[in-house]
Amino acid sequence: DAGVIQSPRHEVTEMGQEVTLRCKPISGHNSLFWYRQTMMRGLELLIYFNNNVPIDDSGMPEDRFSAKMPNASFSTLKIQPSEPRDSAVYFCASRQVTGTGDYTGELFFGEGSRLTVL
Amino acid sequence: AQSVAQPEDQVNVAEGNPLTVKCTYSVSGNPYLFWYVQYPNRGLQFLLKYITGDNLVKGSYGFEAEFNKSQTSFHLKKPSALVSDSALYFCAVRPLSGGYNKLIFGAGTRLAVHP
């Protein structure tokens, strides 16, 4: 399997522009997570989906952030409008939650999307 | 609040020496605890987990971790460090309430192994 695939790997944009980050989870995984990593705040969970349904978006910093998962193989994280403080590495991760509700399985991370907002 | 703390920003070890990366947790009840590693410009990779049973858990790349309930700790250890172990290490906990399917990560500890 190719693993979790994120695009773009690097994005430089100007303040006020819309940014869309994309993620393709591992085939067969039914849970998907978006994390943000910065030096100041470490690794923060933004939102996660189970079976394409958003479960907990309490980590989404503001209304400027939105995430969708239209199907089991694709998710987007959108920032509109972007601000310099949004500069970070954004990680997507996925895992399979079994029918018995085992939530202890390994989380597989993508390589991350490094966003710089000027 | 349910959380993990990694008290050291950085740990320096000479190659061949044993290493310990510390983690303490704050979770009521029986915690589910994890260690992940991040190499430069890469995503996090799973190392090991404690769910129940033996307090000493063995994981990838020769790492192990010891769950200590009385000290609320889950320290990561390796008997003999390699230069290639240099990376950022994260301890994580799965909440027992308010979201069974998410992991809360610590701030991370940078391990530097010197030749």
What is the tens place of the pLDDT at every residue in B40-76?
A: 989 999 999 998 888 999 999 999 999 999 999 999 9
Hey, what are A100's tokens?
Answer: 């018995």
CA A116 to chain centre: 16
Model pLDDT, residue A25: 97
Given an 8 Å threshold on Cβ–Cβ distance, is A107 in contact with B41? no
Residues of B in Cβ contact (< 8 Å) with A50: 101
Strand, coil or helix: B67 = strand
Residue A99 pLDDT > 90, yes or no?
no
Asked if the C-beta of B1 comes within 8 angstroms of chain A's C-beta atoms, the answer is no
Given an 8 Å threshold on Cβ–Cβ distance, is A91 in contact with B44? yes
Residues 6+ apart with CB under 8 A from B58: B48, B64
Model pLDDT, residue A14: 97
Considering CB atoms only, which of A55, A106, A111 is closest to B43? A111
Q: Which of B9, B42, B103, B104 has the most A C-beta neighbours within 10 Å, making it the best mutation to test the interface with A? A: B103
Segment B73-114, tens digit of pLDDT: 999 999 999 999 999 999 998 876 655 667 889 999 999 999
Flag the least confident range among B21-30, B34-43, B76-85.
Answer: B21-30
pLDDT > 90: percent of chain A = 77
Model pLDDT, residue B18: 97
Residues 6+ apart with CB under 8 A from A8: A21, A22, A113
Is the model more confident about A2 or about A21? A21
* Size of the A and B interface in Cβ pairs below 8 Å: 53
Segment A23-73, tens digit of pLDDT: 999 999 999 999 999 988 889 999 999 999 998 898 998 899 999 999 999
Q: Which of A107, A108, A114 has the most B C-beta neighbours within 10 Å, making it the best mutation to test the interface with B? A: A107
What is the rounded distance in angstroms from the CA atom of residue B16 to the CA atom of residue A34? Answer: 37
pLDDT band at A97 (very low <50, low <70, confident <90, very high): confident
Model pLDDT, residue B99: 57
For residues A76-88, average pLDDT: 97
Phi, psi for residue B62 in degrees, rounded to 5: 85, 5
Residues of A in Cβ contact (< 8 Å) with B43: 4, 91, 93, 109-112
Please tell me which of A109-113, B3-7, B38-42, B49-53 the model is most confident about, judged by mean pLDDT: A109-113
Residue A91 pLDDT > 60, yes or no?
yes
Model pLDDT, residue B97: 62
Model pLDDT, residue B3: 84
pLDDT > 70: percent of chain A = 94
